[in-house]
Structure 1
Amino acid sequence: MQEGTTFKYQQLDIDQSEYSAAAKAVERLMKKDIIKRVSTGVFYKPKQSAFGELRPSEEELLKPHLFLKGKRIAYITGGSLYNRMGLTTQVPKTIKVASKIKRVTTKIGKTQVKPVKSYVDVTNENYYLLEILDAIKDFKTIPDLDKKSAITLLKNKISKLTENDLSKMVRYAIKYPPRVKALLGAILEFSRKKNGIESLRKNLNPLTSYKLGITEEALPTASKWNIN
């Protein structure tokens, strides 16, 4: 096993009849601090550095819960994601994991992991698009958010997407609350990305306004999408 990666008994390439012996071997290795336990049945081999032992990332620690038979079915969202994206400096007390088919409830050390229902099926080919849409969805409630900087950050992320990714993102956005469609549309129009703008507009009530606290200075196209 590589240092800093998590594993379960199922990844040890042994028969289930050997799990009992493996558990005893794992206990011995844990007593020697060769491996550490993340949660029940999930372990990792610590990575050593000049500054001591490095703990794996949240993504790695939760990896056994984010994948099913090698396929991604969930992703980390909420405060942990927005902190990683640079949208907030606050570190949440709980980690939220989004999935359409599984409720992930566990603990990472003393940190509670709570489930969130994703709007679409999660795959390795779309979770990074859903992360952006989640940030747009929670734009108004992200703590310590500098809205102007956040718009720039989201605009930069979206501008790096391929046309195919943009098309998929627009399709997924249709499943999200109206404010997501409105803010995504405003960002796309501001970025002069025509792909999907009309589709987003058609799925919005033209009489509805969205109070997100975004000024014209932060996003010049905001008023065109009834955002204020």
Structure 2
Amino acid sequence: MTQKIEPHMDTDEALMLDYGKGDQAAFRALYARHKGPLYRYVCRQLGTNHHSTAQELFQEVWLRVIDNRTRYKVEAKFNTWLYRIAHNLLIDEQRKLAARGEHLSLVNDEQGESDHIPIASNQAHQENTLHNKYLQQAIKHCVELLVPQQREAFLLRHEAGFEPSQVCDIVEAKPETVKTRLRYAMSQLRECLQRKTGITELGGERQV
């Protein structure tokens, strides 16, 4: 799935190679670029009751980056490599939770799946409601109700902006498997949003 990437100046890959040679400023630049999206990805995968675990896992991802700085090779985009580290750590953590008989609480207890989230009545066009705070809340809630593999595929593709081939590399799954997860995720999201808001389509979808 991976192919040789030629790094250019100031790209993530070039910065990581520079960091491997001892350039601390290169690491700071990488961290600044990716800390926000990566932290959101980890938090949304672990759920609302595991914030402290998410923080620890987020830190562990960057420790793995530090530990592998001299062994890093440009075999894929840096962010693909970074999120694959996070994915593997998340899988390990989810197995630990399952072994302890715990589950991921992805929605607040007081907000049941059947709760209706209203949409402001003065919206002129349905596409504009995507930016409405109520719809954003509904979308977030519905995403959190997806099963972990579907939720991860959706977040990587539609929130983090990875291409399907990159999603395959991150989760180490075949293209058809990823396509199936994305297709089921979109179907579940449409059904959930229709129940909550009456909206039947998601605006701005990326091709899966």
Q: Which has the higher strand share?
A: 1
* Fold shared per TM-score above 0.5: no
Greater gyration radius: 1
TM, length-normalised to structure 1: 0.27
Q: Which has the higher helix share?
A: 2
